Amino acid sequence: MSELSRSEKLHINLIEIISDADPGQQLPSEPALAEELGVSRATLREAMRTFETQGFLRRRQGVGTFVVRPTQVIESGLEVLESIETLSDRIGLPVSMGEFQMVDCDADDVIAQKLTIEKGSKVQCISRVIVADDRPVAFLVDTIRAGLLAPDAIGANFTGSVLDLLLKRGIPVLEHSRCEINAVAATSEVARALDIQRGDSVLRFESLLYSIEGEPIDYSFSYFLPGYFKFHVVRRVGNGL
């Protein structure tokens, strides 16, 4: 059996430290932990990012690093489009909405192209943070055609799902969504919303929601902390025909 590399040993050591700690417990400072494990602070920080994106550690700027463990993971297939609220209800995981903003915006070149409207046309821009286990786990940004949601449609009971609001409204009738999925480095905006470090890895869904007439209704970006979400695809075996 080959000898473990330094990075593999560091990974194992961190697993042991996290496993032995209680949820909410603060880890030693980076300098102290790096000295204890015999690595540089830069090497330690890079290794700890893996555990952050998996939901086992949470860094609070200027405070320290704390052990956290998701009580439940939201898991879903990608064959059917469902809201986070629907998925969390299915497993009994309470979620709530954190920071929220809804404003009228002018469509730039990208949004105009995606929604097949004129540049400068008014659109509704809705951003919000979804909270579970007392921490932000998803940051959702939707840009929809103007007039589809009245200001009073989003009331005190709104929990963050634009999809559920559109389905409840019933007009236009929604048919399908096209989604591109990537692991990306968090921008400053995403990092602030999810209370993580800029450059940390997050799972990004870039989606276009279409009506039954084939008209693009909603152009959205959804950013998920990997440790709190698992997505899978059921694939049929080809028969060669």
Residues 6+ apart with CB under 8 A from 196: 52, 59, 186, 190, 202, 225
- Greatest Cα pair distance, the chain, in angstroms, is 65
Q: Which CATH code, of 3.40.50.2300, 1.10.357.10, 1.10.10.10, 3.10.20.600, is assigned to 6-67? A: 1.10.10.10
Beta bridge partners of 221: 141, 206
CA 126, CA 97: separation in Å to the nearest integer? 13
Whether pLDDT at 69 is above 80 = no
The CA distance from 59 to 91, in Å, is 27
Residue 193 confidence (pLDDT) above 80: yes
Mean pLDDT across the stretch 18-27?
84
CB neighbour list of residue 237: distance below 8 Å, 6 or more residues apart = none
Helices 41-53 and 6-20: crossing angle, nearest 10°? 60
Tell me how far apart the alpha carbons of residues 225 and 125 are, in angstroms, rounded to a whole number. 22
pLDDT of residue 173: 92
What residue segments make up the domains of the chain, in order of their start?
6-67, 74-232
Angle at 181 between CA 180 and CA 183, to 5 degrees: 140
Higher-pLDDT residue of 117 and 134 is 117
Distances (CA, A) of 12 to 38, 148, 166: 13, 51, 46
pTM of the model: 0.74
Phi/psi of residue 111, nearest 5 degrees:
-65, -40
- List the beta bridge partners of residue 124: 104, 144
Is the model's pLDDT at 70 over the cut of 70?
no
More confident residue, 236 or 48: 48
Residue matched to tokens 């902390």 = 225
Q: What are phi and psi of 6, to 5 degrees?
A: -65, -40
pLDDT at 216: 95
**Is the pLDDT higher at 54 or at 186?**
186
According to CATH, the topology of domain 74-232 is Chorismate lyase (3.40.1410)
